[in-house]
Structure 1
Amino acid sequence: MNTSPASHHAQRLLEVSGLAASHEPIDAVLVSIFLEEHYRLGGRLERLATEKDDTFRLRTDAGDHLVKVSPPDEAEEVVDLQTAAMRYLEHAAPQLPVQRVRLTAGGDDSVAILLNDGRRRILRVFDFVAGPVLAQTNPDAEQLAKAGEMLGRIDVALRTFTHPADRRELAWDSALPPDGRTGRTHAGSGTSPGGPRGLPALRRDRRPEAE
């Protein structure tokens, strides 16, 4: 068993990033009940593969939504950070094609739900942004440059955003040394062969292992 300081640090990063504990996937029928109760939404749920949240695409006659249920070990202030950032973008950069938070029937941007195992989890609903997933495509240099441009625009829009939970360490933070990132190698190191000068390489063999 590895008990080195680097190993302890890596384990702590996994815990604060909500990646340390396993949990049983929440039943889609139960999610449907909560959606009807708190959002007055009904439709067909399609489970989406994600790293840690239970995530669904909700198809309705009026349009599609993205439904997320936070993992049980994710701190609620971290979930609130994610939601607050989305709400901030909605007002600071309404022209950006990002998901919008749908409010509950009571006007809240999320709702805490209590499952049969006694654990609280956070349910949120967003507008669904249609389009291919990057991991399922073979993007060329121009497409990667456009993706980088969009990320830059989001970063600029969030430059004045603050939140009590925004200073924590994160397993995906490329500013950390490799042993502080739980041994994962991050996309963004090196230069893309044949691509625009300075374009970060996004190679599939260098994606985080947990994705």
Structure 2
Amino acid sequence: MTTPPPTRSVKFSDDERGGWSSDRPRREGAPRPVDVSVRGRVLSPTDRLRYSPGSLVMIVSPAKAERDRFTRRTLIEDQAAVLSLDKVRALLRGRVPDEQAEERAAQLLDAAATKRFEAGESVVIAADGLGPNERDHWVRLAHRFRRPRHLILIEVGRDQVADDDRAPLNELRKALDGGELGEAGFHTALRLSGPTVAELKRIVFRQAPRDE
């Protein structure tokens, strides 16, 4: 009987030992994004909403006119908190070259929101569109300052929804109704349509009163 050859010992470095682990630095590519997911809640329509001071609230709608009508009402007690790309675009019109306007508007909007978060003030973003990337951008900025994040979807009639907006709107509705927006970083989400839009009379940023 022949004697089997001795087994050769191979020494692995710490980086090579075992499988890939999430706590081990990645060798290639960008770092893994910060997990902003939370346990989200779907709110029921009401006549008054109370959010913690310093919160982020995103107002999303497929119709900008309806979005602006909603934010312009005496609904939001702190109108200085309401920010939008459209407002910044209007301020920049004629002041910067057209090819630089969008980038500059985004920078100024970020700076304004950051300044308010740093001061512990609330931020209401009138969303420019329906895509998830815009929502993710603002969620991550608010998360950086450990601010609560909330979303309100303002529905409109089918004839007011552009064809290109139907798919992202349906995806947002599905995620909201299914209670899945917590995975995207929103602590609460609310869907308003028809009479429930008018029934909401006030949005305040105050701590809940303590029970006596």
| TM-score, normalisation: structure 1 | 0.22
The one of the two structures with greater contact order (alpha-carbon pairs below 8 A, sep at least 6) is 2
Larger of the two Rg values belongs to structure: 2
